[in-house]
Amino acid sequence: MNKVYNNAMDAVADIKDNAVIMLGGFGLCGIPENSIAALVKTGVKNLTCISNNAGVDGFGIGLMLEQKQVKKMVSSYVGENAEFERQLLSGELEVELIPQGTLATRCMAAGYGMPAIFTPAGVGTEVADGKESRIFNDKEYLLEYAFDADFAIIKAWKGDTDGNLIYKDTARNFNPLMAMAGKVTIAEVEELVQPGELDPNHIHTPGIYVHRIFEGKDYEKRIEQRTVRKNV
């Protein structure tokens, strides 16, 4: 099976309107920049996007929000995007806010083939509205379903042509979980090498989970919140 694609546009070309997609990353760290840019160019619409956050204005998922490509956003944090806020308050965008641990575990459950999990997160809050709950050892837990995503689009530091992936530093956040969870997993990497060039002891995501891989380019390496020390 040849998993290698020439570029992001080729890798995402069959993503159609109304698709459910996972997008790896945390803040601006480890996001699939090339794939998002390609989705903007394709003009695909009415997407349901599952991501820890909604990007920022002019970057990441924020680019798709500006083009009105996202119908529903499933996230745990959305506080850095003015366009997201505008669409939410105007009723243009459906939003499902999920505790961060629950978001991660619902990804994990999908990857493990588990239909659902029970979690204490959200009990007694609006998160619990309309959800089934059960008592285990005198403690209440919510039933949360595993995600059902058509595509998982992730970013890694280095990968080989068999789809084995290594993430760098904090980019090892939601990417490994989402890599397991999509029906089709698309990985973009900063460096693509041949099988055998990666140390097996350092591989984070085995190639069995990855269906498509390509070498990206022109990564911006942005800093989301720059904090500097005052001169003294």
Residue 22 lies in a domain: yes
**For residue 200, what are the domain limits?**
8-215
Q: What beta strand segments (E) does 60-148 contain?
A: 70-75, 94-97, 116-119, 133-136, 139-145
Residue 232 lies in a domain: no
- Amino acid, res. 161: T
pTM of the model: 0.92
Q: Return the pLDDT at 79.
A: 76
Residue 98 lies in a domain: yes
d(CA 138, CA 170): 37
Tokens 């998160």 belong to which residue?
127
Residue 1 lies in a domain: no
Residue 204 lies in a domain: yes
Asked whether 112 and 150 are in contact (CB, 8 A), the reply is no
Residue 3 lies in a domain: no
Each residue's pLDDT expressed in tens, for the chain with a length of 232 residues: 899 999 999 999 999 999 999 999 988 889 999 999 999 999 999 999 999 998 888 899 999 999 999 999 999 988 778 899 999 999 999 999 999 999 999 999 999 999 999 999 999 999 999 999 999 999 999 999 999 999 999 999 999 999 999 999 888 999 999 999 999 999 999 999 999 999 999 999 999 999 999 999 988 877 777 788 887 7
Residue 221 lies in a domain: no
Q: Return the pLDDT at 227.
A: 82
- CATH number, domain at 15? 3.40.1080.10
Domain count, the chain: 1
Tokens 């005052």 belong to which residue?
230
Closest by CA position to 69, among listed 85, 103, 92:
92
112 φ, ψ to 5°?
-85, -5
